[in-house]
Chains A and B, each alone.
Chain A
Amino acid sequence: MSHKISVAVAGNPNSGKTTIFNALTGARQRVGNYPGVTVEKVEGYLNVDGTRLVIVDLPGTYSLTALSEDEVVARNFILNERPQVVLDVLDASNLERNLYLVVQLLELGVRPVLVLNMFDLAQQHGMDVDIPRLSELLGAPVITTVGHKRKGINELKHAILEHAGRRADSPATMISYGEDLEAEIRSLQSLLDVDEHFKQHARWFAIKLLENDEAVIETIRRRFSAQHELWDKLQRSREKLAHLYGDAPEILIADQRYGFISGLVQQVTTPGVEFRHDLSDHIDAVLTHPVLGLPIFLAMMYVVFYLTFALGQPVMNLLEHGFNLAATVISSFWPAGSDSLLRSLVVDGIIHGVGGVLVFLPNIVLLFFAIAILEHTGYMARAAFIMDRFMHKIGLHGKSFIPMLIGFGCSVPAIMATRILENKRDRLTTIMVIPLISCGARYPIYMLLIPAFFAPKLCAPILWLIYLIGIALAIIAARLLRQTLFKGDSYGMVIELPPYRMPTLRGLLIHTWQRGWMYLRKAGTIILPVSIILWAMTSFPRPSTDTLAGVTDPGQRQAIGISHSVTGKIGKGIEPVIKPLGFDWKIGTALIGALAAKEVFVAQMGIVYSLGEVDEQSGALQEILRRTYSRLTAFCIMLFCLISSPCMATFAVTRKETGTWRWPIVQFLGLTVLAYTLTLITYQVGSLVISRS
């Protein structure tokens, strides 16, 4: 590729921005992280006429204030990375509010390419936009598109190329904020001009200062000491404006922007045409109904989880057979009864270890797919609406529900999803309790233990019970946290209810894949090496031939082997601590492995009990477990695994999202202590009850 162009895609949430991004990049995209921040960075590329377009999908934002991390990330990217082309995707049927972001971009000195998306819908409602005039008034090219039908995408590609090549000959359109504001802006600007850092965008910084923008204030404070006359001038300016107009300057500025937009819109669209999305309103009349809303929502949730488990089961069975087949085939490369280390590593360590985990991938992927459907149709916002009043009772609000729902799949994307919460306290609380929600990783443990210990008709209710306990604990923990550690006012929910839309299969699959990939990546980067390490720790040191002399029973040989190994020694070491919970050293070793990732529990149990055997794993394992342990112990194992920290990946992502080591450590220790305490109580009380009856 001879030539590269950097492109950023901005726009309101729900404007179809991601659909446009997907249309441009297709499968050629990957999810990473913005350096130093936790917001996911979605980047893709496209080759057009020998030029490579590197496209970054910025977080969807309504404006560029400092009130949410999304907005700060978006504007920092534009300021610091200086993409050559910035696309702003607009929902054509919501022009005024969508233009608000355009105005902010213009203020940043950006000359965007405007993508008037969902144009068909606007036209259907009789809206007529004078595209050339709009383009002229804003000094920006305007392309109309219908993202989900891929209309206008080719024109967009060429507009990007053309725009990148064009040098900025005329300055971007500027809004005048009226005499009084402009006077204050000018005086601040002149004070900022002297510093090289701020000279180029001095006007933008001046406006942001008047808007009381925290991030900008902090940035400028690093260069302008607290004694500098700038701050005094700023204070006086703000007071003056507040006094003149009876409202904070930031409100006045917003007012002026919308005033400009209003005037602009009147010039380019048919006046007086305002349409409502009637069908959406009709649907909402039912879905947000004070009486019907909640039952419908609960029914929806039930369907989601039921389908996830029901549809996932056959695929899981298939995968399980596949892995067992692989194990048998590979084992056969060695002569029967062979003691080969390599075979043991590959079959017991890797295939049974990691395979036992990947088997559950279908369930998780299905859940993410269902959640993606809820998000893309627009229903998720209504779910937040319905859940809001209940969330309030635990000190959170409706938006916290969404990451928690994702938490049923995997904590990692769930914790990342908390960025939609603007309030830091809400966010931290939600991050702390998400691990209590039974994630997909624990599912293997339940599926191993429940059928082994409980009658078939009890299986579903017991599973239900475990999930409910998790949810109940999350609720209690959230409430406690909001009253103690994260005490303070909440911001309250402000969420857009987008019109209901038909999702595109493509969009759904891409979105599902992005989240599912995080789970897979965890499997590859954490579970695989840990499985191997655990296998090694369980295989070495090997007992000498003397010790094994005379012992022919494979089960006994295996037991001796394990008790000699590192894992065995560690397990025995912690046995006194976990005995009151009803656990033995073998469970202990599995729990230690499970610290890395919960699925490893199953893998490690498999290793500890079947090392040296090549049978059909789960059936045999369940048999052995049933013979060895009591029902109460099995339940306690599940309880402990439910409450304790899910995995190292959770720890890592919590560290990233909170930016400090403090919270992941608190989370880890808190969960471990809670798990130990509750399991202890359960086992002791349970034993008492059983011995009485």
Chain B
Amino acid sequence: MRNRLAVGISTLNDKTEPPNRTALTLDQATAGKTYRVLGVAGGCGVNIRLANLGIFPGQTVKVLRANRVGPVIVSAKNGKLALGRGVARQVLLTAEQDMSENAPK
């Protein structure tokens, strides 16, 4: 089992972060890009609901649609999900510049 980074905004301030990584929440993501999940904040069982659907730390998600308002559409485990904006805000992602489309899930 892998060791995992503690989830939270504190990771953004961690000075040991590799320089080319930026963390963002799903509602800030760009459509068409693929990201790796850093963590999901816990409130009201959101983290476990998303985990059951394949969104949990270490997994990749592809953002299909992220309009300025309204839910975000992502592809996780080859399934298309619409996540309400509030839910999207709970998902912390990292944009890895060298992320390619064929990265294993």
Interface residues of A (CB under 8 A from B): 62-63, 65, 67, 93-97, 100, 178, 180, 211, 245-248, 250-252, 254-256, 258, 262, 272, 274, 276, 280-281, 284, 288, 290, 381, 384-386, 388-389, 392, 397-398, 422-423, 489-499
Specify which of B67, B78, B85 is in contact with A96 (CB 8 Å cutoff): B78
Instruction: Say whether B56 faces chain A, with CB atoms less than 8 Å apart.
Output: yes
Q: How far is the CA of A392 from the CA of B42 in the complex (A)?
A: 20
In the complex, the answer to whether B53 meets A494 with C-beta atoms within 8 Å is: yes
Q: How far is the CB of A289 from chain B (nearest CB, A)?
A: 8
The residue of chain B having its C-beta at the shortest distance from the C-beta of A67 within the complex is B45
Q: How far is the CA of A274 from the CA of B39 in the complex (A)?
A: 25
In the complex, the answer to whether A94 meets B57 with C-beta atoms within 8 Å is: no
Q: How far is the CA of A251 from the CA of B45 in the complex (A)?
A: 11
Specify which of A245, A250, A398 is in contact with B48 (CB 8 Å cutoff): A250
B69-96 vs A: 1/0 string, CB under 8 Å?
Answer: 1110101111111111111001000000
Query: Could you jot down 17 A-B contacts, CB within 8 Å?
Result: A93-B78, A97-B76, A100-B54, A246-B3, A247-B7, A248-B42, A254-B51, A258-B59, A262-B105, A276-B75, A288-B73, A290-B69, A490-B86, A491-B45, A491-B49, A492-B84, A499-B80
Known: A388-B82, A497-B81. 4 other contacts (CB 8 A): A63-B52, A258-B54, A274-B78, A492-B46
Q: How far is the CA of A399 from the CA of B72 in the complex (A)?
A: 15
A388 cross-chain contacts in B, Cβ below 8 A: 70-71, 82, 84-85
Interface range on chain B: under 10, 10 to 19, 20 to 34, or 35 or more? 35 or more
In the complex, the answer to whether B67 meets A97 with C-beta atoms within 8 Å is: no
A255 cross-chain contacts in B, Cβ below 8 A: 51, 56-58
In the complex, the answer to whether A398 meets B71 with C-beta atoms within 8 Å is: yes
Instruction: Say whether B65 faces chain A, with CB atoms less than 8 Å apart.
Output: yes
In the complex, the answer to whether B7 meets A398 with C-beta atoms within 8 Å is: no
Specify which of B6, B42, B68 is in contact with A290 (CB 8 Å cutoff): B68
A284 cross-chain contacts in B, Cβ below 8 A: 64-65, 73, 80
A492 cross-chain contacts in B, Cβ below 8 A: 46, 83-87, 90
Instruction: Say whether B28 faces chain A, with CB atoms less than 8 Å apart.
Output: no
In the complex, the answer to whether A384 meets B87 with C-beta atoms within 8 Å is: no
In the complex, the answer to whether B82 meets A385 with C-beta atoms within 8 Å is: yes
B102 cross-chain contacts in A, Cβ below 8 A: 272
Q: How far is the CA of A491 from the CA of B45 in the complex (A)?
A: 8
Instruction: Say whether B5 faces chain A, with CB atoms less than 8 Å apart.
Output: yes
In the complex, the answer to whether A62 meets B52 with C-beta atoms within 8 Å is: yes
The residue of chain B having its C-beta at the shortest distance from the C-beta of A214 within the complex is B45
Instruction: Say whether B9 faces chain A, with CB atoms less than 8 Å apart.
Output: no
Known: A245-B4, A494-B84, A497-B80. A250 touches B70 (CB 8 A): no
A288 cross-chain contacts in B, Cβ below 8 A: 65, 73
Specify which of B52, B79, B90 is in contact with A254 (CB 8 Å cutoff): B52
The residue of chain B having its C-beta at the shortest distance from the C-beta of A497 within the complex is B80
Q: How far is the CA of A634 from the CA of B51 in the complex (A)?
A: 55
In the complex, the answer to whether B53 meets A62 with C-beta atoms within 8 Å is: yes
